Amino acid sequence: MTTTERPRRADAERNVKRLLEAGAQVFASTGTALPLEEVARVAGVGKGTLYRHFPTREHLLAALLAATFADLADRAAQLRAELEPMQAYEAWLAEFDRMPAGYRGLRSVLVEALGDDASVIATACGPMKEETARILADAQAAGMVREDITANDLLAVVAGLPEGLRRGAEAHPWLGVLIDGTRTPASARSTR
């Protein structure tokens, strides 16, 4: 996002591209614990080159996930524009919950990133978090969702739903449980 795009030597640029392709491939097959040595090998570059461009595993993961996060932020904005507050809220959480499927370990990486604002991945999540905050605020303003929760924690809790819950393609009840649980309680609606 705010990365300064300095001009790069042609070979450096080519290597970054190869590393991202190799990273995506190894990430898809191995998950978030992807062996960095293998990424360099698949990319056909030295390990030092990987380290020069991506000083930590989180930097590589952030780069690999950046496009997905940006797309998701756009999708959230779209849902907010098209749907009523509570429908947008439910639809967006369902999309967010679906995202980490198939990437081993991504849920816990997301939980960690959402719990540490200083994390490199948290930065990549920024626009997504802002859209979530808007959607949540709309639903709260409409009196549909309890006021004592934050967008950041909401995403963290959804991301923290265990991977194993999805048996085959069938939907699990837990996202619905969470959404129901965040509705404004009947007691609060009548007394206020």
Q: Is 5 in the site for DNA (CB under 7 A)?
A: no
**Residue 38 has which token pair?**
């293998």
Of 6 and 167, nearer to a copy of itself (C-beta) is 167
Spatial separation of the C-alpha atoms in residues 19 and 71, rounded to whole Å: 21
Residue from 164, 170, 190, 191 that binds a copy of itself (CB under 8 A)?
A: 164
105 Rama sector, left if φ>0, alpha if ψ -120 to 50, beta otherwise: left
102: partner contacted, choices DNA, a copy of itself, none (Cβ within 5-8 A by kind): none
Residue from 169, 180, 191, 192 that binds a copy of itself (CB under 8 A)?
A: 180
Q: Is 36 in the site for a copy of itself (CB under 8 A)?
A: no
Q: Report, in Å, the least distance between residue 31 CB and DNA.
A: 12
> Distances from the Cα of 188 to the Cαs of 84, 162, 178, in angstroms?
22, 30, 18
Question: Please, which residues have CB within 8 angstroms of residue 81's CB and are 6 or more apart in sequence?
Answer: none
Site string for DNA, 6-45 (x = CB under 7 A): --xx-xx--x-------------------xxxx-----xx
35 Rama sector, left if φ>0, alpha if ψ -120 to 50, beta otherwise: beta
Spatial separation of the C-alpha atoms in residues 154 and 160, rounded to whole Å: 10
| Contacts to DNA by CB under 7 A | 8-9, 11-12, 15, 35-38, 44-49, 51-53, 55-57
| Contacts to a copy of itself by CB under 8 A | 108, 111, 114-116, 146, 148-149, 153, 156-157, 160-165, 172-174, 176-183, 185
